[in-house]
Amino acid sequence: MRARGTAGRAGLGPRAGGAPGAPAPTAPAARARAAREAPARGVRGRPPRPPARGRSAGPPRAIALAALALAATLAVGRPVFPGPAPPPAAAPVEPAAPERQSLARGEVVYRRGAAPRDGVPVPGARGATAFVRVPAEPAAVWTILTAPRRYPEIFPGLRAVTVLAESPGAWLLRTEGKVGPFDFHYHTRYEVRPEAWHLAWRLDATRDNDVFDDHWGWWQLVPQAGGTLVVYAVGSIPASWQPLAGVFERRGIIRALAALRDAAGRR
């Protein structure tokens, strides 16, 4: 009997909220137990709400919001173009004095060297800048350049141009054609800026392209007395070794600008 009484006084008696005879916690043990139970009680003693089954509270919510924004964009008819944006408006490219003399004679001027990409030169890229003077107002030239479905009627080497998506300031095009022995098809995203007479493009690398790893460039129309100076700048990174591509590219660009000059002059 004394042993039991001694044990009760030593802390083996009943405790509040516990079973009779359970040991009463010491002060350090009580604090440790409170620390363990605190996270489970949540705010004001309520247990925290578990996340929905099969879902997490983080990235899936962001994905759902992104999908909603994409659906809203498509609903208003504006095309969504993945990948990098078209190159920004480049600094004006001026023909040199000897080139201006050639232009005055009605010739197409071809300057070898790839156009910069996003304003930065790209080592190893292929391309050129070309000029032609058109005896027509910029609006007449702009009408031709902003009718991409009719490009095959103007530009040699093109078989078909399909508009996959279109809005007032942007296009997504699929172009098919042949230059010399090379058949090609590729997809480009265009930025259309009529207020600046500027039309820029960049390869859509998320789609099927068989000739370029990258392709970029722009048209710029410069109003002049009695006509328009047309500037065409292009750069590309071929998808494979193309030993004669530079020769055919030069020929194709010169023929294309001459065809544009003649088509605009007939309007």
Number of structural domains found in the chain? 1
Residue 58 is assigned to a structural domain of this protein: no
Q: State the residue range of the domain holding 252.
A: 97-265
pLDDT at 30: 52
Percent of the chain clearing pLDDT 70 (strictly above)? 64
Q: What is the pLDDT of residues 155-174, one digit of tens each?
A: 988 999 999 999 989 999 99
Q: Which residue has the higher pLDDT, 189 or 85?
A: 189
Q: What is the pLDDT of residues 219-243, one digit of tens each?
A: 999 999 999 999 999 999 988 877 6
pLDDT at 104: 94
Q: What average pLDDT score do residues 42-60 get?
A: 45
Residue 122 is assigned to a structural domain of this protein: yes
Q: What average pLDDT score do residues 206-227 get?
A: 94
For residues 209 and 201, what is the distance between their CA atoms, to the nearest angstrom? 15
Instruction: Give me the helices (H) in 1-58, please.
Output: 2-7, 27-41
Q: Which range among 1-15, 126-140, 224-238 shows the weakest confidence by mean pLDDT? A: 1-15
Main-chain phi, psi angles of 100, to 5 degrees: -65, -35
Residue 81 is assigned to a structural domain of this protein: no
pLDDT at 92: 63
pLDDT at 240: 81
pLDDT at 15: 42
| CATH code of 243's domain | 3.30.530.20
Please give the model's pTM, rounded to 2 decimal places: 0.66
pLDDT at 9: 39
Residue 45 is assigned to a structural domain of this protein: no
Residue 63 is assigned to a structural domain of this protein: no
Residue 40 is assigned to a structural domain of this protein: no
For residues 225 and 217, what is the distance between their CA atoms, to the nearest angstrom? 26
Main-chain phi, psi angles of 205, to 5 degrees: -70, -10
pLDDT at 158: 93
Residues in Cβ contact with 7 at an 8 Å cutoff, skipping those fewer than 6 apart? 13
Instruction: Give me the helices (H) in the chain, please.
Output: 2-7, 27-41, 59-75, 97-104, 138-145, 151-154, 245-265
